[in-house]
A and B are shown apart, each in its own frame.
Chain A
Amino acid sequence: MSVVPVSYYLVLSAVLFGLGVIAFVFKRNAITVFMSIELMLNAVNLAFVAFARAHNQLDGLVFVLFVIVVAAAEAAVGLAIVIMLAQNRRSLSVERMNHLKL
């Protein structure tokens, strides 16, 4: 039975992370921007799991659980902020977030 090499997972993780960064920079809706951050965090999780496999350790797997928990806490706070903004402004475009300027 052939096994997929660890390096494949790392490349996939790097691609996902890169896509997350690109989406963060170019997307205009606050929720989509937030989703791109989630994508980046999951790319990190994939890297942790792949490295844990490569080193034959459990540590990397435990880190993933921590990251998932923290990401959930972050999502709770982030979506609350989104709701607050939507109530006060009725728009979630980051381009319109120009109240504060030079």
Chain B
Amino acid sequence: MATAQLVNLHRVAPEWHLSIVGILVMILDPFVSPRRKRWLGWLAFAGALAALLAVHRAYDSQGMAYDNLISTDVFSVFVHVVVILAAALSILGSIDYLEREGIQRGEYYALILFATAGMGILAGANELVTAFLGLEMSSISTYILVGFRRRSEPSNEASMKYFLLGSFATAFFLYGIAMVYGALGTTYIDKIQALLERPGGIPALAMLGLGLIFVGLGFKVLIAPFQVYGPDVYEGAPTPVTALLSSAPKVATFALMLRIFYVSFGMASDFWFWAVWISAVLTMFIGNLAALVQSNVKRMLAYSSIAHAGYILVAFAASTTLGIAAVLFYLAAYVLMKVGAFLIVTHLGQRGEARLDIRDYAGLGSREPVLAASFSLFLFSLLGLPATGGFLGKFLAFQSALDAHSAHGTAIIWLVVIAAINSVIGAYYYLRVIISMYFAQPSTDYTPSSVAPALGVAIFVAAIGTLYLGLLPAQVLEFARTAADSLPLH
């Protein structure tokens, strides 16, 4: 009995590491003098690293935890690594940002850790109400983080919008769970699969439930037509929070979507294929076309996030094991380049996030060559140029979609064609920033400050990761394939 409990604890090791360090940060917070609060950030960073090591323990003792509520498989491990990495980089980027904005507080780091623990639960959930709890753990924490610049009206407003729309989405997700439960009498993801495989077809109520779940999770990963609030939230949130928000929750929620759609409802892939198809097309066009007209870099990157969710949906539509592997690899590459790009915006924003316009980036190439070069690297990766992780992610996504044409016919080929057209549209707004950095006259009323060491390390890690995934992807790719194989597809 005792050993069974211990095995359970091993299987959720990352979550309890994150939670305990988060609670520790909260307890220590009142005892730390304001000048030393940044050490709480380092403690939280250490917690994230400990959780990353704990993922290894979870990997060594795979299986179901807590009466099948949580499934610790390679898939879950892969998602954990990506999510915790994103959180760790965001914490590194936050320490000096909070100092600069005068809002250095312990609970900020604790909330990041709690949110990450929630995303970990999302990644491994084998039961829908457990998934709901994980989703809420991550969402409620991030509602607060978005409004962390309490004196700034945009931050207040972003927090309010995120809270209202996020809770609205949660209600849809829950109602979907209720419908699935009503139709099948279970909320276990693997049991749903077994029940749906019985002869007699899929109950309409379960399909309605799946539709509602798609709406609820669609809001969370910002796919069209549920993306409307996204850019506002990303723009108003403190930039390191935007870095976290645009990466980790998306990865975890896509992981949950993979589990629900591929494992539980893999039988019904013909049914949800068109929903994903339409959503992918809308998401790519809305994201890319709206990004074209942005002059605020933060907002432009927010729309680019939306566009990338569309590319991920292209691989998602494939409904094959290769599709899962492509989604996972894409998510890993996406997290590194997106966090890297937002962390550079964090530094260049300067006090009060005053310098976010594309013109403020003019002449950066000659003034801060290293920073400009790394920003160009992230933008090239987002654009999908060879030798970067973004290129390979896109390549795999499109390839997995094309491979699935025997199942889905020409529809999926058209989807890839549309995605390719969108990649070309995307080139315009990414290159615009790069041209501004290298070829425009620098503005004179501004002397750049040096990059804080912690932030520099975070940007460096993201840049190395982006190059690594582009040049030596074999290992990560193999990991993604094993992860995809570990899902019990029907």
Contact = CB atoms under 8 A, between A and B. Distances in A.
Interface residues of B, number: 41
Contacts of B361: none
B288 interface: no
A43 B231 CA distance: 30
Nearest to A25: B168
A73 B175 contact: no
A43 B178 CA distance: 10
B436 interface: no
Contact of A70 (B133, B151, B186, B231): B133
Interface stretch (B96-104, B136-144, B309-317): B136-144
Given A24-B168, A40-B175, A81-B143, A51 B157 contact: no
Contacts of B293: 102
B160 A82 contact: yes
A70 B129 CA distance: 11
B107 to A, nearest CB: 12
Main secondary structure of the interface of A (DSSP, over half): helix
A32 B179 CA distance: 26
A37 B171 contact: yes
Interface string B131-153: 01100100010011001001101
Interface residues of A, number: 42
Contact of B174 (A30, A54, A57, A67): A67
B158 interface: yes
Contacts of B186: 59
B225 interface: no
Interface of A: 10, 17, 20, 24, 30, 33-34, 37, 40-41, 43-44, 47-48, 50-51, 54-55, 57, 59-60, 63, 66-67, 70, 73-74, 77-78, 80-82, 84-85, 88-89, 94, 97, 99-102
19 contacts: A20-B171, A30-B164, A48-B178, A66-B129, A66-B132, A74-B136, A78-B143, A78-B163, A81-B143, A81-B156, A81-B159, A81-B163, A84-B159, A85-B159, A89-B156, A97-B157, A97-B161, A99-B153, A99-B157
